[in-house]
Structures are given as structure tokens and as C-alpha cells.
Structure 1
Amino acid sequence: MKNENTLLSVEGLSVSTGRFPLVHDVNFAMARGERIGLIGESGSGKSVTSTALMSLLPDGLQATGTVKLAGHEANFVDASDAVMRKIRGRDMAMVFQEPLTALNPLMRAGAQVAEIMLQHQMVPSRRAAKAKAIEMLASVKLPDPAEAAMAYPHQLSGGQRQRVMLAMALANDPSLLLCDEPTTALDVTVQRQVLDLVLESVVQRGTGLLFITHDLAVVANMCTRVLVMNNGKVVEQGATEEIFTRPQHPYTRGLLAASDLEATDHDGRLFTVASAAAYVPWTVAETEAHAAAAEETPVEPAAPQQDAEIQPVIKITDLSRTYKRGRTSLFGKPTEVHALQKANFTVLPGERLGVVGESGSGKSTLLRILAGLDQPTSGSAVVAGNEVAGAPESQLVQLRQELQIVFQDPMGSLNPRMKVLDIVTEPLLVPGRTENAAKRRKMAEEMLEAVGLGAETLERYPHQFSGGQRQRISIARALICRPRVLVADEPVSALDVSVRAQVLNLLADLVDAYQLTLVFVSHDLAVVRYLCDKVVVMQSGIIVEAGDTESVYTNPQHPYTAKLVASSMNLHAEVLAKAGTA
């Protein structure tokens, strides 16, 4: 396994908690400058493996095997903390998923970058460390690096914080960089910028990269080799193009199938890991042909709705919302934030509307107004015959029956102290409804059956379910009072690709079965393209583009829409690009 060019050698790495194995017999070698993607779903062992490589396993976990880095004799599995402290941050470094929790909130950004150089005595003085820290912040393309160096983490955006983390990781020019889902929480354009920056940095420095993610398109873009993990084992490994076009293991095929939102089974539903046997990965030739066909046959804009008799379920007219921020000084004036500016659109019965845009674009403000949780500053919002603007709380009871929301984080939106029966039936406990306890239980059983959960789940608590199951419970709760409008706020962004496919299939089935009007908010353009027939694109509180989904995606008219589409990663396109540079 080893040769002179080997940077990292992993042999027989296993991790367990007592008698229960978490990672079993992991073997691979990384060459100097090689970029390896470690992929798999939640619970597959990716993060446990990465922390074992850094000798950062929490108490209660035991590791066996051999992990060695070029230039060091120590086996990281049983090396002392004193030995590892000299290696971590100098010869190997890590970029974590959530920079706000990884950065010290009480230290300025520049001081944190300088600290890691001073810790390993890589600079002669504090003054030199301060100057080098600003250079590093400039190298990761932070605007005005000297000013950024003086900022605290909470004063920076998510993308800027992740750049500070990258500057810290690269400050001592390590030979190995580990990235654990570093862009999961970022907007699509910021994600693309950070990924490009990581790739550029490791290629320029000849740094080895181990990139951990569940996003296969990102791996296709970043990595030359792939390791696929399932249930704590590496089930397949090889060159990226080979694995993604000719997978040998059923689980790898399942991951590819669930990630491919352009592929459906004979019933028109997305593939999952369980249903992927019939999935045939695209070859490079097919990907090229598909791209060429898309260029030759541009999508014509959909014809406008001709039937004037159909009344819209949602009608937004000149809708604006302005917030006032507090004074920044004793005599200063409060500043205004224009969260929504003269938004106009309609949604007809049964339509599926996608709302896309980055953080701060106004999506959440729009949803809050639609749900009657906020009042517009001006304009009109009529939802299922109910005018939200100016309506007192007592008049919004009917709206809450007609419109229900599925939130992004089901664990955060489900009461951990309530059983599933109480959670699902809670929307029925409003004035005017007449169901008794037996009727409510029967309705809950029927609703859980509709979302693929059995009646036996009624007496359990949210923590006893997986993330995908919790989201199904959220959907059951939203639909039990038979609303006309379902609002889904990033409902699959926190889910693994296979669970994402299951939930998207479920939403599509339920929207058709219950004749719902769907408003689907997401930063994942591929998901919106699959699920929605119309889309509105928001930027800084303004709807910059709206129309038929396919037309907007294939022929965007606004520069911001074009930027979003260009930044969104497509698995087929990335595999094709990888083949072209091979």
C-alpha cells in the first residue's frame, strides 16, 4: 500500500463503542496532492473516520488499526495528545461543517488565524503573525482582509466565516487537508465560491485533500478518487469517473440513483437506494448527447393562462415589508431593511410554485406573511380567500386551516415532549372543529398511513425516529386538516439524498392525491426544477424573474438567475467535465 509518494496510509482502521462497531476495517492510501472524496449517508461512518484520522475521537470510542502521515513515525490511532498537538494544525488540518461553532466567538478573525501560526512557532513574532494572518485572509479572497481581520465571527457572513476557517487550516501549509461537509449550510453561489477556493488552494500547494460529503456532484467536481462508505465499511473505491459511470456495488448505484433528479422509474418517481436496481448510470457519451440536445431544443415559454374563470388560490399584489433596525449610536436614526419590495404573483389551484433565492432574499418574510405570521407594510396578500393584510388574529383562524407549513428542521418543529398522536392531531384542536378523541385518532392513523408510517408510531416520541421519518410526521400534521395550500420551507435540505428522494416522491404523490396547491421554498435549484411547474426568483426582497420553471432554468433572463443556475452543480455535468480533463 505504501510507496515514496504516499502521504496518508490507513490500514485496518476500526472504531467501536464497547462491543458495537461504528467503523470496520477501513483501508486506503492517499498520494501527495491527491484529492479523495469520502461519500455516504448519515450513519455510514464518514465523520467518525475523519475524527479517527485526526485522533479526535470523543470519550467512549475506541480505535484500532494504523494511521500514518508521511514524515511521522507515530501511529495516530494510539499516539499521545502531546504528539498529536504538534501535528494537528501544522501537517494536517480540518475545515468543519459549521464555522460559527468551530470559531472562537470571543476572538477576532485575524487573531484566530495568527494563533495557529504562533502555536506551532511558524512565525518569528506576533507582529509577523498578524501580518501573515492578513495575507492568508487575502489569499482566501476575503474583501478588505485587514478589516475582516478585526471582525468577530458573528460580524461575518457564513461564507466569510468559512473562508476564515480555510485560512486557518492553510496557514501553516499542511500536507493534508480534511474537509467535513464544509459547504452544506451555504447558499449555492457562496458554496461554489468556497469549493472553487478550496480546489484552487490545494492544487496550488500540492496539498492532499480528503473531502467528506453526501453531495455527489461536489465530489465529482472536487475529487479524483472516491471512497463509498455504508454501515461503517468502505464498500467501493476507485477513480471518480469510473465509480460514477460504472458502479459495482448496489449501494453506490443507489446513491447515484437518488442523487440524479433527472432520472425516474417507470412510474415517474425518483429513484431511492431501495429502488435503484433498475437505474442505469449515464455514460459520458450519453451526458454529452443530453447536453447537446438541450442546447439545440430551447424551451419555449409556457403560454399564459387563458381561463379567466379560474380564481387564484394565492394573489400577491404590490406586497412590501420594511423592518426598522435599532439605532447604531445614541443620536443615530434607525435604519430600514426592505425585506420585500412590491412583490406581485398569483398561484392557481393545483399549481406547484417554487421560490428560490439566497439568504436575505426575502423568502422567509414572504412565507411568514402568507401564513399570517407577519403583516405586510403595504400591499395585499389574499390566501385561500383570506386577506392577510390588516386582518386581526381572530380572523386568521380560517387561513390557518387552509394553509399549513412543513418546516426545514423537523426535530426543531416537533415538540419533543409530545407523542406522535398529539403532534399530528394538534391542528384539529381549534375552535369550530367537532371531532372527538376517537375521530381524531382515526384521522391520525389514516394520515400516517398516507405518509408511509404505521399506526404503531402514534405512541412514540420524535427522538425515536430518523430525520426522514420525522419529516413524514411533519407532513402528516400539516395535511390532517385537509388544507388547500401546503407551504414547504426547505423541507429536504437537511436530509440524505435517498431520504430526500423518498420525501420528494411523497410530496408529489400527496399534492396530486389531495389536490393541493404547493409553495416550495428551496436553495436547491435541482429540487425545485423537479418538483415545481412555476418558479419565482428573489433577490434582496425583489422578485427579479418569474415564469415556467423549465423556461426560467434553460433561458434565464435576469443576470442573478443566470448566476444561480451556473452555480448550481449538476452530477452529469461534473462527471462530463471530469472526463474532459482526465
Structure 2
Amino acid sequence: MSEPHPASVPLLEVAGLRVSAGSRMLVKDFALTLARGERVGLIGESGSGKSVTAAALTGLLPEELQICGTVRLDGVHYNLVGASDRQMSRIRGQRTGMVFQEPLSALNPLMRVGRQVAEALTQHGTLSGHAAAARSVELLASVQLPDPAEAARAYPHQLSGGQRQRVMLAMALANDPDLLICDEPTTALDVSVQHQMLQLISDGVARRGSGLLFITHDLAVAASICDRILVMRDGVLVEQGATADVFTRPQHDYTRGLLAASDLDATDSSGRLFTVSSAAGYVPAAARKRVPAAEPAVPDVPNSTVSESARPDDGAHSDIRDAEPLIRVSGLNRTYRRGRSSLFRAPSEVHALRDVSFEVAAGQRFGIVGESGSGKSTLLRILAGLDQPTSGSVQVAGNEVAGSRENELLELRRQLQIVFQDPMGSLNPRMRVRDLIAEPLLLPGEPVAARHHAGRVAEMLNAVGLPPDAAERFPHQFSGGQRQRIAIARALICEPRILVADEPVSALDVSVRAQVLNLLADLVDKYRLTLVFVSHDLGVVKHLCDTVAVMHQGRIVESGPTGQVYAAPEHEYTQRLVASSLSLQPGSSLPT
């Protein structure tokens, strides 16, 4: 590591950075000055140029891209732009550390975790042999991996997503780098694991006095950890400033739009979430908090109100709970048997669901929250007849799922449809959109050309806000949000009574998320659907659902009206989830 330098000398200086692919400009005139100990957030949507910028700063751009400009790191006497691989390899890992979004892509699947962490030390001559191995266990312990010695002997696939991300952080901090770059490090993590990772990153850079460049599309994450914010759109920096200033008084319309779309506690006069295009009347959450309690939360803005959601449990929904249950689950258990790990050991059992009971009335918006492994997806598969319970009763729209054969579940298929998290995984890439949407109308054993349903397909495309010519295209020709609209159209074309949504917005940018949530709310009202919405994002469920059930280790540990459960959670696990949820209040969630 280089000798300490005066605090007045910037750690990182970037000027005139441009990245292009042929004639297409991906990053244009990017500039940044980052001091030691400073935490800068680079925010923007997918395709804005954030990750390309990070790759340019670390010399990891693909060879087909062209780069020019100046990148100076304190203590390095040459421009990092145009530096040789040999020069950059001495800087990467020692002067700079990098935490990537997807650790499975960055970790070697054939190498034990401890050896990979030790390699970060041996490559730069910090330690060698047994000393590096021992230090790797210490580093794994520093990122709070349970049983670090055992984790060091594991392969990446044997760890959870949060544990793999901790390994990446341990590797990035192994040589006490001056600069840590994190590229969407918490995007795929559950809310409590995300909170823990942000705490570890915050503590790690604070102990070392490192500078932090944190790249994310999640504005609440940026608010919790960053001192300063840079907003990027289409490869151009459109706004920058102190986090409190940007989040309270955004100057650029795009920044205001991102804040508005991220704020699930703010809705317009019709109860709809703000989007980037409808954010003119939005008052930022940080500014609303400064309004005295005796005054209206949003003064003098006629088209903007702050509400619990578009659905809150008010008088309009009070009669729903008295209606006849459309879904009735009683004493549901699901146990899976794993294969033998040894000739002398009995197969182990995994209890995915344990004595689950609940009811959903017709017209209700029922949310299910919980972290990965809590049993949410298993429960949905059983509700949809895609899996059978080990014991218990599951009645959906009058159809008993338990013990039913496939041909006995046809009516259930008509009454209940699912929208999955990843539309690319549920849409056949070889089929045109018209055929994908019409497929649920085709009766088993009686194939009918999808063109006979062209009118219904056009109606559904219009309902989900897609143009008529979308029918002739293929899934890969659409964005993620558009593909999710196609999946929703496909689910609703057979006029089901129940719509089940499994994490349908978790992979979407905040602006697209707001659009899809508004669409779901509108369609649920228009078609009088009963909604079962599954998510690990408590804010999304709070906005959309009138009732919530909290799942933990296969059990429902708490349930009730959404506002009541969130305001006064009774179970310890629910309290932890609510406490781990981030807000748009700068610096309110994590210590700085």
C-alpha cells in the first residue's frame, strides 16, 4: 500500500472520460473528484452507463469498447486510461477493491472460498502460504460469515447469495485498498441481508479510511450510505451534490422522477404511484419530513397526496373480509427429501412449509412477505397446483388441490394464473407475443390456431399498455418491464378470478417498477381480481396489499391488516424486517 498522502489531495480524479462502442457513445464527459474517506453514490437506471463507468475506472472494459479521458489515482504517476494490463493488475486488489453485483460470476466455481480470498493476498505479495490461509479465515470472520473456517473450505455454490457477497467483500478489502468500488452489491439480496451488507461495507471503509464509489439504481440504498450523489442518464451526469440536497431539492427533472418513482409512500390524487413522467407535483420524502405536523404533508400541490397506498384498508375494503373465502388453506405442510449424502446416513428432510393456515376472500389483496427460503415460492406452487402438499388442505376457488390429479386441476388453471419474477424464464423465446398471450385459451387436446383469438390478444395488449404491433414480435425484442406486461396480459386473457404475482417487480428499475405496480392495481380493480402478491420488498406490499402474512422458516409468524402489521409488528422476525427496511431519508438507516 502507498504512503499516506495529505487529506487535501484527492484520492481519485476523473476528467473527460468517454466510452464508446463504434459511433454509439456509452459514457460522455464523465468527471469525478473523490476524497479519502468520502462516500459517493452513482445512481441511475439500467443502461445509464453506471457499470461501464466502473469498468472503465478499473481497466476492465471489453476490448471492443473505446475509451479516452483521464483517470488519476493518488500516488500513481500515470493515467489509468491506456495503462497496460501489467500496470493495472498491480493496482487492482491492492490500491482498489471491487465488489460486483453477481458474485457467482466473479468467484471461481472450482476453487474453495478460502483459497480465493488467500489468492487476493498472495497475488500482491502481502502474505504467502499458511499465513495467507490463516488471514483469509480472519477476513471471512470480519465480514461476519458464520463459522468462517468452515466457509473457507466451501465452494461458492455451497453458500447463500448473501454469504457469497460477503466473500466478495472480504476479497475486496483484503489488502486495505484506498478505493472500494461496489457495483450493485445488494440488488439481489433480501432486506435484512441487504442491511447487513451495507453495514459491513460502511464499517469496512470507515476502519480503513477508504474512499467509496457505490453504484446502484436503488435510491434508498444510496441515501443510507453515501455522502454525495451523482445522477447518471444515458451516459451523462445530469446532477450531483450532497445527498441531503439532491434528495430534498432535486434540480433536474430526471432526478425528481427517480425520487418520485422510488417513493412508495407518495401517490398522486388518484392514488397511483408517481412515475418519471408524472413527477412534476411530487414533493420529496426528505422535504415532507420537514413540514410541521400541524400542516398538510404536501402543501399547495393539488395533484399530489401522501397515502398509505392505492389500496389502504379503509371502509371501501371493510366488506372484503366478511366475504366467503376464495382461497382456504388449512394445516398445510410440505416436506422434501434430499438424496443420501452417505451410504450410512438416512436421507435428510427439508420442511419447506409447516402448519400453514390462512384464508383469502374474493376481491382481497393478500400480500406474503419473507426472505429467501421462507417458503413463499413453495406455497405459491401448491396454490397453483404445480406441487402437492405432504399434508393439509388447500382449496382454491372450490377446487381441492391436495391429492388431485393433473386432469382434475383444469378448472383451477382457469381460475388462477401466475405472473413470475423473470418473464424471460416463463415466456417461450421462439413464440411470437400473439401466440404467447393466446396460449392459455387453447384447450388441452384441442389445438386451435392463435389467430382465432387475435381480438382478445389485441384487447389484452391494449389493457397492459402495449401497442398492437407488439403481437408480431418476440420476447427478446422488449425491455424487462415490457416483458412483464406481456406476462400479465398472458395471465389475464382467460379471465381468472385469482392473480398470483411472484416477485413480479424485484428485477425492474424503480421507474418501471412504479409503472407495473400501477398497472397491476388498475387491472385488479378493472377485472375484479383477487390478488396474492409475494415479495421480499415490504414497501411494495405495503403499497399494494390490504392484508399481509409474514413467513419465516416455512411458517406464517404474523398476519393481519397491512397498516397494522407494519405500524406495530408483534413477532420478533417481523420487527426485524420492518427495522431493516430502508427509506429515502439520507443517512437515516445506517451509521456514517
TM-score (ref. length: structure 2)? 0.93
Give the one of 464, 475, 480 matched to 1:467: 480
Q: Distance in 2 between matches of 1:347 and 1:93?
A: 49
Classify 1:82/1:483 alpha carbon distance in 2 versus 1 (closer, same or farther; 3 Å): same
Contact 2:335 2:352 in 1 (8 A): yes
* Per-residue deviation, 1:204: 1.1
Name the residue aligned to 1:54. Answer: 58
Give the one of 396, 419, 444 matched to 2:457: 444
Q: Deviations over 1:268-293 (max 9, x none)?
A: 11011111111121345625857999
Name the residue aligned to 1:103. Answer: 107
1:12 aligns with 2:16: yes
Give the one of 255, 259, 275 matched to 2:262: 259
Give the one of 561, 569, 574 matched to 1:556: 569
Question: 2:267 aligns to what SS in structure 1?
Answer: coil
Q: Deviations over 1:122-151 (max 9, x none)?
A: 12x311111111111111111222221111
Name the residue aligned to 1:22. Answer: 26
Identity of aligned residues (%): 64
Question: 2:276 aligns to what SS in structure 1?
Answer: coil
* Per-residue deviation, 1:425: 0.4
Q: Distance in 1 between matches of 2:186 and 2:295?
A: 30
Question: 2:332 aligns to what SS in structure 1?
Answer: strand
Name the residue aligned to 2:231. Answer: 228
Name the residue aligned to 1:486. Answer: 499
Name the residue aligned to 1:245. Answer: 248
Q: Distance in 2 between matches of 1:484 and 1:322?
A: 29
* Per-residue deviation, 1:306: 7.6
Q: Distance in 1 between matches of 2:367 and 2:430?
A: 33
Name the residue aligned to 1:170. Answer: 173
- In structure 2, what residue type is equivalent to 1:561? T
Classify 1:287/1:6 alpha carbon distance in 2 versus 1 (closer, same or farther; 3 Å): same
Matches within 5 A, 1:135-214: 135-214=138-217
1:268 aligns with 2:281: no
Q: Distance in 2 between matches of 1:199 and 1:539?
A: 28
Q: Deviations over 1:437-463 (max 9, x none)?
A: 554110000000000001111100111
Contact 1:302 1:551 in 2 (8 A): no
- In structure 2, what residue type is equivalent to 1:455? P
Q: Distance in 1 between matches of 2:441 and 2:208?
A: 60
* Per-residue deviation, 1:227: 0.3
Name the residue aligned to 1:546. Answer: 559
- In structure 2, what residue type is equivalent to 1:88? R
Classify 1:433/1:507 alpha carbon distance in 2 versus 1 (closer, same or farther; 3 Å): farther
Classify 1:285/1:477 alpha carbon distance in 2 versus 1 (closer, same or farther; 3 Å): closer
Q: Distance in 2 between matches of 1:291 and 1:31?
A: 42
Contact 1:287 1:576 in 2 (8 A): no
Q: Distance in 2 between matches of 1:290 and 1:417?
A: 57
Which structure 2 residue ranges, 5 or more long, are not aligned?
1-5, 298-307
Question: 1:343 aligns to what SS in structure 2?
Answer: strand
CA RMSD of aligned residues (A): 2.4
Q: Deviations over 1:423-447 (max 9, x none)?
A: 0000011149898755411000000
Matches within 5 A, 1:399-548: 399-431=412-444, 437-548=450-561
Contact 1:284 1:575 in 2 (8 A): no
Which structure 1 residue ranges, 5 or more long, are not aligned?
none
1:126 aligns with 2:129: yes
Contact 1:302 1:548 in 2 (8 A): no
- In structure 2, what residue type is equivalent to 1:41? E
Contact 1:257 1:281 in 2 (8 A): yes
Q: Distance in 1 between matches of 2:320 and 2:256?
A: 45
Classify 1:193/1:445 alpha carbon distance in 2 versus 1 (closer, same or farther; 3 Å): same
Q: Distance in 2 between matches of 1:460 and 1:538?
A: 39
Give the one of 373, 383, 390 matched to 2:386: 373
Classify 1:3/1:405 alpha carbon distance in 2 versus 1 (closer, same or farther; 3 Å): same
Contact 1:258 1:272 in 2 (8 A): yes
Q: Distance in 2 between matches of 1:115 and 1:388?
A: 52
* Per-residue deviation, 1:170: 0.5
Q: Distance in 2 between matches of 1:19 and 1:306?
A: 60
Q: Deviations over 1:319-368 (max 9, x none)?
A: 11111111121021111111111111110111000000111111011000
Contact 1:288 1:576 in 2 (8 A): no
Q: Distance in 1 between matches of 2:558 and 2:314?
A: 14
Contact 1:116 1:171 in 2 (8 A): yes
Name the residue aligned to 1:279. Answer: 282
Q: Distance in 2 between matches of 1:358 and 1:163?
A: 17
Name the residue aligned to 2:305. Answer: none
Q: Which moved more, 1:301-310 or 1:158-167?
A: 301-310
TM-score (ref. length: structure 1)? 0.95
Q: Report how many aligned residue pairs link the two structures.
A: 573
Classify 1:14/1:267 alpha carbon distance in 2 versus 1 (closer, same or farther; 3 Å): same
Q: Which moved more, 1:51-60 or 1:505-514?
A: 51-60
1:112 aligns with 2:116: yes
Question: 1:277 aligns to what SS in structure 2?
Answer: coil
Matches within 5 A, 1:380-391: 380-391=393-404
Q: Deviations over 1:264-318 (max 9, x none)?
A: 1122110111111111213456258579999xxx9x9999978897321100011
1:91 aligns with 2:104: no
Q: Distance in 2 between matches of 1:264 and 1:167?
A: 41
Q: Distance in 1 between matches of 2:540 and 2:399?
A: 30
Q: Distance in 2 between matches of 1:447 and 1:291?
A: 46
Q: Distance in 2 between matches of 1:550 and 1:287?
A: 23
Contact 2:285 2:584 in 1 (8 A): no
- In structure 2, what residue type is equivalent to 1:225? R
Name the residue aligned to 2:348. Answer: 335
Contact 1:328 1:334 in 2 (8 A): yes
Classify 1:48/1:306 alpha carbon distance in 2 versus 1 (closer, same or farther; 3 Å): closer
Q: Deviations over 1:479-503 (max 9, x none)?
A: 0000000000000000000000000
